[in-house]
Amino acid sequence: MTTTALTIDVLRGAQVLPQLEAVAALRMTVFAQWPYLYQGDAGYERDYLAAYAASPGSVFVLARTPAGDVVGASTGLPLVDDGPGFAAPFAAAGIDPASVFYFGESVLLPAWRGQGLGHAFFDARERHAQALGGFALTAFAAVERADDDPRRPPGHRDHAVFWAGRGYTRQPGLVMQLAWQEAGHASVDHRLTFWTRPLPGAGHPEP
């Protein structure tokens, strides 16, 4: 599959291992920007991605240039294969975590944005979850930032409209806390709220 000059590759589980370093570097570059403001750690990123790759149900969607450079990446895996903090809000809401396929973050270099790759990332992950079977929901978590945060770039638009257009609904009752180091700060606790979408043809538990 191609988008503009890019090739979109869909890899499963350990298939991504040869690209692990490139994806880790890409994540650090994008996450240093708003809204994550993450002070990256290459070792942590490699370990994080290796844990994803260890899940046989995981998926990695990579956008690559004709030269093979990875300029975009998106991940997903069964929620039960992620850390317990991700599944806990669903279990507390009476939703079986085993029924949820979780989407990790999508990252894309600025020069390649606005060309439909966001849709390509979601399409590929949703198809993967449907092909695996047994999932009623797809979900992801978005970091919450105050509208008046002085670090917000001028003219920045968040992705809420895009996500809603994809059929995802913000679930205020599904919240978790994650800590990461921001530039110039020690570890900071962050509030993340889940967005969910029923998978077509599956049972649809509601939060």
DSSP 46-99: HHHHHHHHTSTT-EEEEEE-TT--EEEEEEEEEGGGS-HHHHHHHHHTT--GGG
* pLDDT over threshold 70, residue 188: yes
* pLDDT over threshold 60, residue 84: yes
Give the integer Cα–Cα distance in Å for 78 and 90: 13
Least confident range from 16-20, 132-136, 193-197: namely 16-20
pLDDT confidence of residue 207: 43
Return the number of other C-beta atoms located less than 10 Å from residue 18's C-beta: 9
Q: What's 7-198's CATH class? A: alpha beta
Give the integer Cα–Cα distance in Å for 161 and 167: 10
pLDDT confidence of residue 34: 56
Q: Which residue has the higher pLDDT, 138 or 160?
A: 138
**For the chain, where are the E strands, in sequence order?**
2-3, 6-12, 59-64, 70-78, 100-108, 137-143, 169-181, 187-198
pLDDT confidence of residue 152: 67
Give the integer Cα–Cα distance in Å for 11 and 2: 15
Give the integer Cα–Cα distance in Å for 71 and 62: 8
pTM: 0.87
- Tell me the mean pLDDT in the region 138-167: 81
